Chain A
Amino acid sequence: MSSMNQIEEEIISDFELFDSWEEKYHYIIELGQKLAPLDEKYKLDEYKIKGCQSSVWLNGEERDGKIYFSADSDSTFVKGEIALLMMVLSGQTPEAILDAKLEFIDALGLRQHIAVTRANGLAAMIKQMKTYALAFSSASK
């Protein structure tokens, strides 16, 4: 597993190929469409993060000291955002997840499209991923 910084750098350099919001949109949609499906048993309210315009179901599991996420959303774009977050955070240690600054999000030039709306709750997803990390890190102590 590459370090988080390396993965973030790779994502940033992928996005540097795109000139426009339209190209970024299509890329994120493609990531969303490719996101591995979430086991139906996690599509319950207790796994749900409710946004204003979309819902996300997120599960985190620990294997060998690392956390692996799986997720789904009714919005393909939001699934694409989750895929980006999972590239960076899934498979990392709880400590690394808790420390993650996720500065790549700003470098992608997406803030104006995703963060200004309360529509999809990217911040809520990050918070939930960190909550899993916190739970697993305190459980292992």
Chain B
Amino acid sequence: MTPFNINKIRSEFPILSEKAYGKPLVYFDNAASSQKPKVVIDALVDYYSSYNANIHRGVHFLSQKASAAFDAVREKVKTFINATSEREIIFVRGTTEAINLVASTYGRKNIGQGDEILISAMEHHSNIVPWQMLCEEKGAVLKVIPMNEKGELMMNELPALLTEKTKFVSVVHISNSLGTINPVKEIIRQAHAKGIPVLVDGAQSTAHEIIDVQDLDADFFTFSGHKILGPTGVGCLYGKLHLLEAMPPYHGGGEMISSVSFEKTTYNEVPFKFEAGTPNIADVIALGTAIDYWNQLDRQAVSAWEKELLNYATKLISEIPAVRLIGTAENKASVISFVIEGVNALDAGMFLDTKGIAVRTGHHCTEPVMQFFKIPGTLRASFMFYNTKEEIDSLVENLTKAIALLQPHSVA
């Protein structure tokens, strides 16, 4: 393990020394997408420069090399999230596709008229809409675990929501708009006590927590590569083997078949059954490199640093008059969402942009969360281990300037 050295780490991410409008870039939009270490970028270039070929069926040198590199990543992901078998890892485009896959296969097969699917009040649209589509198709009902004013799930409501009609629970591990870390292990425990399977949306959590799907006892777990230092367009769905084996395929095509005739097609085994067509070879390989990068980090030190950044930013930002934090859960990841009285979030976000500071504004694809807090949107700064306190100082200083410029002056 290398000791946590912020300067060394920053030097490993080429983009962090870029400028925005001639000013040092301050990147606080990590919950939307993380930046990439040079090794990940190099892995993409290396694949395309030296061994680009289609995998699994080629007899030639390049295809064998590409196949070996691709296959090795499944094993890396298995270890990274502590799955039981690499066959439980399915490569997808990202969390959104993973949830759609489960809704379209497991969901279509097992959920029917009058059944209930339980999600939470702080889901991303990608963990709402696929279930609504399924409910519409099947005549099933979507139920929601409510949250309190701090943005924490009201766990006391959970037992009553897990009824004999509940056939599936799909819940976010860490909220992208509030930062709340949900007690998913406890949700899973209670759901399992009633025989209900649970999907955990790990799009945010995989970058901030050490994931152990066996310890969680999650039936399905999903994450996106681009939020964990990897490339866009690749992600993983973990599913317990017996569930995956019982599920019908998702897309039809090559790779997912065992044999095809015009009369009958038999399907390939898990995981290939769910991976029709040429996979995203380059990005899967680079995702493997991202996982290697995580593995050489001191995850405890990374976690402690992110906590320190969150506490530092929370203290300074909440001291700014007119700021109201949205999402004040006891257990939070390094995401800070807030509104400023009298100042439009978009205006403030654009002001910060002119200073080279990247934040996100709006509803963050969680409109129901905004409806709950009766706000149109928030400003969100989300931190990664490569961020610094100096960057937070710059954010706070410029927020103060934005407010001075944009807040209506109370001079009559």
Contact = CB atoms under 8 A, between A and B. Distances in A.
B350 A77 contact: yes
Interface in A54-101: 54, 74-78
B75 to A, nearest CB: 40
A77 B352 CA distance: 13
Interface in B58-89: none
A119 interface: yes
A15 B355 CA distance: 19
A75 B362 contact: no
B354 A76 contact: no
Interface size bracket, A side: 10 to 19
B345 interface: yes
Interface string B330-367: 00000000000000111100110111000001100000
A20 B362 contact: no
A25 B362 CA distance: 19
Given A21-B354, A119-B362, A29 B405 contact: yes
Contacts of A74: 344, 376
A52 B364 CA distance: 11
Interface size bracket, B side: 10 to 19
Interface in A83-138: 113, 119-120
B262 interface: no
B406 A53 contact: no
Given A20-B21, A119-B362, A53 B345 contact: yes
Contacts of A20: 21-22, 354
Contacts of B376: 53, 74
A53 B21 contact: no
Contacts, number: 44
A22 B355 contact: yes
Contacts of B353: 21, 113
Interface string B381-412: 00000000000000000000000011000000
Contacts of B354: 20-22, 25
B350 A25 contact: yes
Contacts of B21: 20-22
Interface of B: 21-22, 344-347, 350-351, 353-355, 361-362, 376-377, 405-406
Interface of A: 20-22, 25-26, 29, 52-54, 74-78, 113, 119-120
20 contacts: A20-B354, A21-B21, A21-B354, A22-B21, A25-B350, A25-B351, A26-B405, A29-B347, A29-B406, A52-B362, A53-B361, A75-B344, A76-B344, A76-B347, A76-B406, A77-B346, A77-B347, A77-B350, A119-B362, A120-B346
Name the 5 nearest CB pairs between A and B, nearest first: A22-B354, A75-B344, A53-B346, A53-B362, A25-B354
